[in-house]
Structure 1
């Protein structure tokens, strides 16, 4: 069944919430997502103060440790096709790159001053990768990154393929998926859940607020907290 795509307004509204909040709400709307669909490995966030990214996934895989086996012209044409792919489709986008160098992922950086500027110009909000980034000072302002490592060289960084399903930082993601990401990590949001998320976010927030009110009070006790838990269990 083809579900209606979210409106730009609906996507933008989700950027008001951090990624853990989105994960909590997804557990309410789709309990089966509780233990999947999000990053599970450490990442360096370039700009923690930037608001969360919410956009359509553009996926690719790269290698950097060994020189490509394609000819120079083939490498160039593939890179051009990759840029066309990033530019096509709904926006804003979030680029997700799987580095295929295994234990040496991050050996060479695909991302730096030039690529951050190019992808920002093509409508991307940022990148999530298990690989490396560099050129932090001249990095495109406003373009976020979550990366496995920061490094100095690009080595032989080259695009292997793009547009397929990948695994990045423990998260499976397909081209066109809706991704929410911030300094905590990233999560794939099923289209079927999007319109129900605001109500779920409000529900979780109210539940947590009643707990926090007791926990932060000067006369907090275990019994008072347990009373709140029991009340919530009776309601939910």
Structure 2
């Protein structure tokens, strides 16, 4: 990912990226995106873009492994996050889903991850301390709750599933208040051009639709130009 592509991805929302991937692939059918409604701690901040650092947690039940094992795994988790290739995003599956109760993403954990240099978090789990999550570190989560429960790390660096989206460690992820997508490796080289093409073709219909006097005849002409530009 070039600095130019990163900057462009940070400037657009996730639906735009989803559409641009189809432009780059030359067909519809791209399906590496989340399903259902997610919540964002900072819906007005730019999208989160980065290479996934994955992990799995649980919180409903207390861990049954020895405390030393849990502590060592927690330490290994933070080391995994701290050594992420940048830009990076924490992608953490709560295995209690859809009955998650443990708010792993509060003021302390978000501040620690931001301090490591990560750009944000994508999780199907719980977030809290919404007024204290540091700016510039959005959390896209499955729910909001007050307690951390018995939250503990179960796996590090393994494939995870977030709202129907499978994410592997190292995948390039784009996420915002709409949800998230995994950007296929085979479109990365052409994705920036695809975004530009998409935005220019959308302008063909949006510009006349926003002007006074827009009617069906104007729409019909604009839509013909819009369709022509997409073929």
Q: Normalized against structure 2, the TM-score is what? A: 0.92
Once the two structures are superposed, residues 49-91 of structure 1 have per-residue CA deviations (whole angstroms, 9 ceiling, x without a partner) of 2111111101111111001111111100000111111122411
Aligned to 1:125: 119
- Give the length in aligned residue pairs: 230
Counterpart in the other structure of 1:102 = 97
Equivalent in the alignment of 2:197:
203
Unaligned runs of at least 5 residues, structure 1: 1-5
Query: Which residue of structure 2 aligns with residue 159 of structure 1?
Result: 153
Match of 1:75 among 70, 81, 101: 70
Shift of the alpha carbon at 1:32? 5.9
* Residue matched to 1:13: 8
Equivalent residue, structure 2, for 1:42: 37
Structure 2 residue matching 1:219: 3-state secondary structure: coil
| Structure 1 position 33, deviation (Å) | 6.8
**Partners of 2:89 and 2:119 within 8 A in 1:** yes
**Per-residue deviation, 1:22:** 1.0
Provide structure 2 residue ranges, at least 5 long, that are not aligned to the other structure.
none
Distance in 1 between the 2:161 and 2:108 partners? 25
The match for 1:150 among 144, 160, 166 is 144
- Mapped contact 1:26–1:33 kept (Cα < 8 A): no
SS in 2 for 1:217: coil
- Secondary structure at the counterpart of residue 124 of structure 1: coil
CA contact (8 A) 1:12 1:54 kept: no
* Residue of 38, 61, 82 corresponding to 1:66: 61
- Out of 129, 143, 167, the residue aligned to residue 173 of structure 1 is 167
Shift, 1:228, TM fit: 2.5
Deviations 1:155-202 (CA, angstroms, capped at 9, x unpaired): 101111021111102211110001111122211112321221222112
- 1:26–1:34 CA contact under 8 A, matched in 2: no
Post-superposition offset of 1:20 = 1.3
The residue number in structure 2 matching 1:183 is 177
